[in-house]
Structure 1
Amino acid sequence: MTNKPGITYRPAQASDEAAIKALIRAVNINPMGLKWHRFVVAVDGNGRLIGCGQIKPHWDGSRELASIAVQKEWRRQGVAGKIIRQLLANEPALVWLTCMDKLVPFYEQFGFIEVKKGDGRSLPFYFRLATTFFKPIQKLSRVPGYLAIMVWPVNP
C-alpha cells in the first residue's frame, strides 16, 4: 500500500528489527516492547525504513498505539498518519496511548480523545501505573507539560 511515490507501507519483517530499534532510539521514545511482528513500517524507494508504529498488547488486556516514529527528513508528509490509520484499521476494541500534552491535537485527528481525571472513564491498570511512574521522572527531567492518556474510538 502506498500513498506517495516511493513510499511503501507494509507489515514489518524480521529484517526490519534493527532499523526499527535504531529509529526508536534516534527519536528518544520508549524502547520497551519492540517486537517487530507487531509493527507497520514505511520504507522509501531504496528500501530504507523511514517510519514505524505498533499496537502493543499489555498484560492487563489493554492495547496501546505505540512507537510511532518517523525519520526527521520525512516528517510532516503524512507518514505517521498513514501508519496510524493502517494500525487502527482492524482494531476491534479500545486502543489507548500516552503522549506529551502538546501531541494531543495530532492524535485527535485520528479519533482519539484525551481522558481527563474524573471524567468517568476507567483507565486500564497499565496506564494508571504509567502515569504514577512518569510524574517523578518528569519532575527530575523538568520536561514541560504533562503526560496525556488518550483512547480510541470515542464511542466504542
Structure 2
Amino acid sequence: MKQTKHFGATPEKRPKQEWLKPGSTADRSGVQPLEFRRGWRIAWRGVSSMNGENISIRRATEQDHPAIRGLVRGERLNPTDLMWPNFLVAAADGHIVGAIQMRKHADGSRELGSLVVSKESRGQGVATRLIYAVLATESGPVWMITANAFAGAYSRWGFRRIEPRTAPVRIRRNHRMGSLASIVSFFKRRPIRRLVILERLPSMK
C-alpha cells in the first residue's frame, strides 16, 4: 500500500500561476483554466515528481471512489461522508494522487475536508491547487477542522480560528468525533493532535 501524507495540516508553497484575460481558452501550454475570479481565469500547472506528467485537477467520478477511499483511510482521516460527488481529485498518468472534498451538511453548512496527497506527488503544490480549486466556487461561509499546530497555514485563504460553540451543529459534531478519535489514538501510542475549527467568511467586496 502506498504511503500518503495529509497536506491539510501543511499546505504546500503556492504553485506557479498564469492569469489569462477573458476570452482566452487556455494558456500557452494548452492547460484549460480551472478557476474563475473577477473575470480573470487562473490556469494551474503541476508536474509529477515520478514521471513528469502533468497533474490535473478535476471533479471526481464514480470510478474514482475506491482510490479516494484508499487515500483517505490510509492517512486515518475522517472516514465518514466520503461521497464522490463532493470531491475534486488530482490525477496524473491515469492515477489519483490527491483528493479534497466539500462536505454539504444537512444544516446547510459546508466543510472543507479529506485533503490528502500521495507520497510520490508531494512537493508539487498539489494540496494548494486542490484548496484553491475547491474554494473557487464557494461564495458562502466554509468551515474546516484541522490540528491546532497548523491552523495558521490556512490564513491565506481567509480562514480564522473560532470557538467550537459558535460553529454549526454538524461542524461541532465532527469536531467532537475527531477529538475522541485523537484520544483513542493516545492509547494506541500515536501522537495526540489537538483539533480546532476554522471559519472562512464570504468576502464583503
> If the TM-score is normalised by the length of the shorter chain, which range does it land in?
0.7 to 0.9
2:146 is equivalent to residue 99 of structure 1: yes
Query: Sequence identity of aligned pairs in percent?
Result: 32
What residue number does 1:149 align with? 197
* Structure exhibiting the larger radius of gyration computed from Cα positions: 2
> Which residues of structure 1 form unaligned runs of 5+?
none
Bigger mean CA deviation after superposition, 51-60 or 134-143: 134-143
Give the match's secondary structure for 1:109: helix
Q: Which one of 1, 12, 24 corresponds to residue 72 of structure 2?
A: 24
What residue number does 2:45 align with? 3
> Which residues of structure 2 form unaligned runs of 5+?
1-31, 33-43, 48-53
Q: TM-score, normalised by structure 2?
A: 0.67
Seen in structure 2, the aligned counterparts of structure 1 residues 114 and 13 have a Cα distance that, compared at 3 Å, is same
The number of equivalent residue pairs is 152
The root-mean-square deviation of aligned C-alpha atoms, in Å, is: 2.0
Given that 1:113 and 1:150 are in contact with CA atoms closer than 8 Å, whether structure 2 keeps it comes out as yes
Given that 2:160 and 2:198 are in contact with CA atoms closer than 8 Å, whether structure 1 keeps it comes out as yes
Distance 2:181 2:87 in 1: 27
Given that 1:112 and 1:154 are in contact with CA atoms closer than 8 Å, whether structure 2 keeps it comes out as no
Runs of 4+ in 1 over 4 A off after TM superposition: none
Distance 1:63 1:55 in 2: 6
- Identify, as 1 or 2, the structure richer in helix: 1
Q: TM-score, normalised by structure 1?
A: 0.86
Amino acid at match of 2:139: P
Query: Alpha-carbon deviations, 1:88-107, whole Å to 9, x = none?
Result: 00112101011111221222
Seen in structure 2, the aligned counterparts of structure 1 residues 154 and 103 have a Cα distance that, compared at 3 Å, is farther
Shift of 1:154: 6.8
Given that 2:164 and 2:172 are in contact with CA atoms closer than 8 Å, whether structure 1 keeps it comes out as no
